[in-house]
Amino acid sequence: MIEESTYYFKQAGKVMNEYYANEGQLNAVIGTRKYIDNHFDKDLKLDLLSDVRFTSKFHLLRLFKKYYGQTPKQYIIGKRIEKAKEFLKKGRTITDTCFEVGFDTPSSFSTLFKCRVGLTPTEFQKRATFTKFDKFSF
């Protein structure tokens, strides 16, 4: 009976460790995400992000993937694309939008935008403009 309860105690401990993680890890990941949210338009590398939260870049990469299901780089790209969509809806040029959200070149921006959104930035902007005017039709 004692062996059986010890086994279940160990299993419960594993579940607790897996699903209720260390508070320090959680703070590092949340802090990194907040930093990205506030500086997505800058040149963000894993080395910089790990320095900001005083952790190993490999540990940060594992933690970020564990909690958010994506790498910091994937999260940054997603954040930039979302902001780019806002700018394009407001009528900003594709080139200006590209650089304002932190992409290095318009071609890399267009490629990633099409991959994530399913439309080129030009197509997205045209549809957004058309939809805006379509609401006012009689």
**Superfamily name and number for 73-138:** Homeodomain-like (1.10.10.60)
Residue 66 scores a pLDDT above 80? yes
For the stretch 5-60, pLDDT in tens is 677 667 666 655 665 557 878 888 899 999 999 999 999 999 999 888 888 889 99
- Nearest alpha-carbon partner for 63 in 27, 13, 12, 15: 27
What would the two tokens of residue 97 be?
């939008």
Residue 73 scores a pLDDT above 60? yes
Q: Are 129 and 91 in contact (CB under 8 A)?
A: yes
The one-letter amino acid code at 98 reads: C
- Which pLDDT score, from 0 to 100, does residue 5 have? 60
| Residue ranges covered by each domain of the chain | 1-69, 73-138
Residue 112 scores a pLDDT above 70? yes
- Which pLDDT score, from 0 to 100, does residue 22 have? 78
- Which pLDDT score, from 0 to 100, does residue 52 have? 85
